[in-house]
Structure 1
């Protein structure tokens, strides 16, 4: 994070704007909208800009900029096409520790003006840290389309009842739970329907008779194979509702960072022969936090019910009569295969697919090998890197040809993805030359042949439009 997002109260505060053209006009509109008192200096000043300045209770100075103009100024914006002048303004502001923004020159800035979604009093700011203002504006457009104007009215309603709720609930956690129930229930829906008066009456009654449930709940959330964009809307919504987040080593840090900033984060990662927190202890932690009345998110890589031991966790929750929700995630087989250009099924190569764990409870590889060697079946091995020599040998021994294609995918769907393709007979030798690191996924079957044809985009030259 290059810049810490902050919201600043500019009401009746003097702010200096250096420049009198169209760019300065855009910045002046923003400053005036926030209630700033505008001080403007430039040789040539647009009439509308002059009017804005005077209406804000400020002053227009037609002439040269001087450092004396920084006296008692709260914020400075340099909006000129004079590079030397912009540098002078920036240096003077940095020397006096006055926040300064130099338009389209982030190196000279101590503050960045973001793209803004204004649903006052709800205000959302989007910034690229000055790297790509166009991208920030594109993101603003997307957000504006999904955030109705009624959210501003909802924020107004909540603000008008904050003191009443604070008086009703002494405990901050009770207040938070009350507002969560309110903002996700029929009161909010009344506001969205334009029935603000009805919503206010409902909220007043809810405060009088409110009995906030202190009961905890657990969300088993499939985080997908690694790429944060593969999270579902429901997964993100419940993750951001959680008071406590338990996550394992297969969950990407970018996904963990999507939880509430005040949520407690508990690492319960497990690796082969290195269980940082044993499964039974994880189960007990889920029960413990839920009985404390907390919303608990159990973030699991991939899908909770595909080799994720989610079934074991909800068994204990059910026994303790703790409410829970299970959110499916994109399993590693689907995500890694797609990002590698390998279809798991294909009419010409494979009519079925089988998911197998290469790491059983007793650390053995006692698998039904005779069922895994059908030539028109794709077999996907989870957690099979350590046992790969045995996997290759057993498949060959039970009738699968040594020339059967096999792919080993390292950290699929992430920027660290690496795909090694060989045959059952040659893969171990190939990995000796091109080693991979866990987590990995192994795909065995004729469909692997299609990678060379379907993953052409990995070598696509965007600049020249050629492979």
Structure 2
């Protein structure tokens, strides 16, 4: 942001406009609309400025510019058409610490006059920092067609009801919902039709109804893998309506930044061996905030219903009578595979895909290892970094070929994405060598070999290293520094 946006209260304050031509007239008109006490200094005035002067609407300083004209001014506008004089005025105003706008000279101006969409008391100002005023005017024209003319009367009505609203709805979240109802409900329709009495009656009635509501709601939102561009539009809307956001550790800061600024954020993330909150505590927080009448967003990395325990949370909410809805997200397997250039299915390599988690309530023996070890399918293994040794051992023991390609995608879709490729017999050692950390997804199957040729995002995949170093690292002994192979080795 190059300029700091500021709405100035100029009511009764003295503003000097130097220049009595059409530009000066236009500037003076806008200042008068804002309630400023306008003084125009010029040798000659336009007919309109002269009429305003005769009527006492503006004060006039006649003749050439004098330094004393700046006395008692809060703001100065230089609109003389003389670049030398305008520069002189800007210099003197700067010495007096007065904000000055030099028409058509952004470099000399310490403030800029924006293009304005007026829905008083609602005002929308568009500025290009003085660099492209025509563009700002074009944007204003577009906004004029988008913003309802009834917004001004609606804002005035909300202002009249403000103390009553605060009294009836002491909770900020309840007030916010009520104001949103004013904007989207029948009140605005009545005002649009020129029926202010009906609008006010509807506003009072809906306020009474809002004061009796006590229960909130919960929305389970899939945040996707981390790239904020992959958040769904519906998920974005939920974040902008939330009073409270309970988010996992894996939700990226870029996604959280899209939420409403004043929403309360509570991290409830879980990481192997480091739980910020148990599932029971998360349930209790959801219930506490919903019963307080708040709109709660339970924000989960990926998709809530793919190893996100979303089903458990909905069961809990339903048992306690809390309204809920679900906004799906792009799950990690889809995103990591896409950003690594790996098709999860392929006519020549894989006709099915299995989503597997390495962390489940029972032991690893509950998994159907024989089925998982079959060829011509893709395994997408979630939360498996700490279990790679066990996964490798079990799959090999049940017949999966040592040469089966794999890809480990760390921080998939994020700026720090890394992809490690190799074959199943070395997956644990390669992960250790390259220090792969969570969040990372394991993609195992013939399709993983395509990462080396189809990768498009981030750095190229990291390939295999010599088997001796793999074996040494797997044994826990510090290895000698063996050179990395130039490319990944894939044995189809």
Range into which the TM-score falls when normalised by the shorter chain: 0.7 to 0.9
1:334-393 alpha-carbon deviations (Å, 9 max, x no partner): 222223322222333322222111222357575322222333322211111111233233
Alignment-derived partner of residue 438 in structure 2 = 438
Is the 1:223–1:303 contact (alpha carbons within 8 Å) kept by the matching residues of 2?
yes
User: Any idea what the Cα deviations from partners look like across 1:293-348, whole Å, max 9, x if unmatched?
Assistant: 22222121111111111111121111111111211112122222223322222333
Preserved CA contact (<8 Å) 1:359 1:365? no
Work out whether residues 303 and 328 of structure 1, in 8 Å CA contact, stay in contact via their aligned partners in 2. yes
Q: Structure 1's 180 and 430: CA in aligned 2 closer, same or farther, altered over 3 A?
A: same
Q: Greater CA deviation, 318-327 or 342-351?
A: 342-351
Secondary structure at 2:342 match in 1? coil
Structure 2 CA distance, aligned partners of 1:62 and 1:449? 83
Preserved CA contact (<8 Å) 1:19 1:41: yes
1:163 to 155, 160, 165: 160
The yes-or-no answer on 1:416 pairing with 2:416 is yes
Aligned to 1:236: 236
2:286 aligned partner: 286
Deviates further, 409-418 or 21-30: 21-30
The superposition leaves residues 34-71 of structure 1 with CA deviations (integer Å, 9 ceiling, x where unpaired) of 6667778999x9x99x99x999947799978x986654
Task: Give TM-score scaled by structure 2 length.
Answer: 0.72
Separation in 2, partners of 1:78, 1:279: 64
User: Is 2:122–2:155's contact at 8 Å kept on the other side of the alignment?
Assistant: no
In the other structure, the counterpart of 1:306 is: 306
The alpha-carbon deviation at position 266 of structure 1 amounts to 1.8
Residue 413 of structure 1, CA deviation: 2.0
- 1:240 partner SS: helix
Deviation at 1:97, TM superposition (A): 4.9
Cα distance change on mapping 1:167 and 1:86 into 2, 3 Å: same
371-380 or 17-26, which deviates more: 17-26
Instruction: Say which is worse superposed, 158-167 or 399-408, in terms of deviation.
Output: 158-167
C-alpha change, 1:401 and 1:211, in structure 2 (3 Å) is same
The 3-state SS of whatever aligns with 2:401 is coil
Tell me the residue number matched to 1:380: 380
What is the Cα deviation at residue 418 of structure 1?
A: 2.2
1:100 & 1:107 partners in 2: Cα distance?
11
Match in the other structure for 1:323: 323
Contact 2:303–2:330 (CA<8 Å) still a contact in 1? yes
Structure 2 match to 1:463? none
Change (3 A) 1:342 1:285: same
Displacement of 1:285 after TM fit?
0.9
Structure number with greater Rg is 2
The answer to whether structure 1 residue 357 and structure 2 residue 357 are counterparts is yes
Deviations 1:256-300 (A, max 9, x none): 233333322222222111111111011011111111122222121
Secondary structure of the structure 1 residue equivalent to 2:201: helix
Q: Distance in 2 between matches of 1:365 and 1:107?
A: 72
Q: 1:149 aligns with which of 137, 147, 151?
A: 147
Q: Provide the residue aligned with 1:259 in structure 2.
A: 259
Matched, 1:390 2:390: yes
1:115-154 pair list within 5 angstroms: 120-124=120-124, 141=139, 144=142, 148-150=146-148, 152-154=149-151
| Distance across 2 between alignment mates of 1:336 and 1:35 | 58
How many residues are matched? 451
Cα gap change, 1:125/1:161 in structure 2, threshold over 3 Å: closer, same or farther?
closer
**Matches of 1:121 and 1:87 in 2, distance apart?**
36
Judged with a 3 Å threshold, the aligned counterparts in structure 2 of structure 1 residues 35 and 278 are, in CA distance, closer, same or farther, namely same
Q: Which residue of 2 aligns with 1:204?
A: 201
Q: Answer yes or no: is the 8 Å Cα contact 2:270–2:277 preserved in 1.
A: yes
Which residue does the alignment assign to 1:465?
Answer: none
Contact 1:115 1:137 survives alignment (8 Å): no
Question: Is 1:90–1:100's contact at 8 Å kept on the other side of the alignment?
Answer: no
| Whole-angstrom distance in 2 between the partners of 1:458 and 1:123 | 43
Q: Distance in 2 between matches of 1:127 and 1:218?
A: 38
In 2, the alpha carbon distance for the partners of 1:308 and 1:106 equals 53
Deviation at 1:154, TM superposition (A): 2.9
Distance 1:224 1:211 in 2: 37
Q: Which runs of 5+ in 1 are unaligned?
A: 461-467
Residue 240 to residue 168, structure 1, CA distance change in 2 (3 Å): closer
Does the CA contact (< 8 Å) of 1:90 and 1:109 recur in 2?
no
Query: Could you tell me how far apart the structure 2 residues matched to 1:382 and 1:260 are?
Result: 30
Q: Relative to 1, partners in 2 of residues 1:442 and 1:160: Cα closer, same or farther, differing over 3 Å?
A: same
Distance in 2, matches of 1:434 and 1:87, equals 64
Gaps of 5+ in 2: 461-492
Instruction: Say if 1:448 and 1:177 are closer, same or farther in 2 by CA, change over 3 A.
Output: same
Shift of 1:244: 1.8
Q: 2:126·2:140 contact (CA, 8 Å) conserved in 1?
A: no
